[in-house]
Amino acid sequence: MLRTVAFLGLFLLVSCVVRWVSEERTLKCEVDDCHLAVRNNSFTKADCTLNADARHSCDIKCEGADRDSVISKSPTTNRKCIRFFTYNTQQLASGWQLWRQGPCAQENIVLQVHCGFPEKD
């Protein structure tokens, strides 16, 4: 029991030492057409694909990030876009993507994402 507590304490200490730099991404979608803004810069056409399952996936330009988080959607009252069910992010070998499917893929929506990059010493 004491070893477990000591191990968990060491694990928490090591976990707290790692810091991340967060960068904002905003993906503005109108059905099949999405635009991406990186760090509050102007919007440019996003690199998006539509797969056989009718899932829209857009590159959110987070190469090198090891974590991400969708922090908001607008309009917030949209009930067709529900995180984890009809939209979310996923990490691929080529980077991070935000996907939308089902009823959310047909919505006009703005999704804000933070990409977490490990801070370099």
Q: What is the pLDDT of residues 22-55, one digit of tens each?
A: 899 999 999 889 999 999 899 999 999 998 888 9
Q: State the pTM of this model.
A: 0.79
Tell me the per-residue pLDDT of 6-19, one tens digit each, with 9 for 90 and over.
Answer: 444 444 444 555 67
User: Is residue 75 domain-resident?
Assistant: yes
User: Is residue 9 domain-resident?
Assistant: no
User: Is residue 27 domain-resident?
Assistant: yes
Three-state SS letters, the chain: CHHHHHHHHHHHHHHHHCCEEEEEEEEEEECCEEEEEECCCCCEECCEEECCCCCEEEECCCCCCCEEEEEEEECCCCCCCCECCCEEEEEECCEEEEEECHHHHHCEEEEEEEEEEECCC
User: Is residue 110 domain-resident?
Assistant: yes
User: Is residue 96 domain-resident?
Assistant: yes
Domain count, the chain: 1
User: Is residue 70 domain-resident?
Assistant: yes
Domain of residue 108, residue span: 19-118
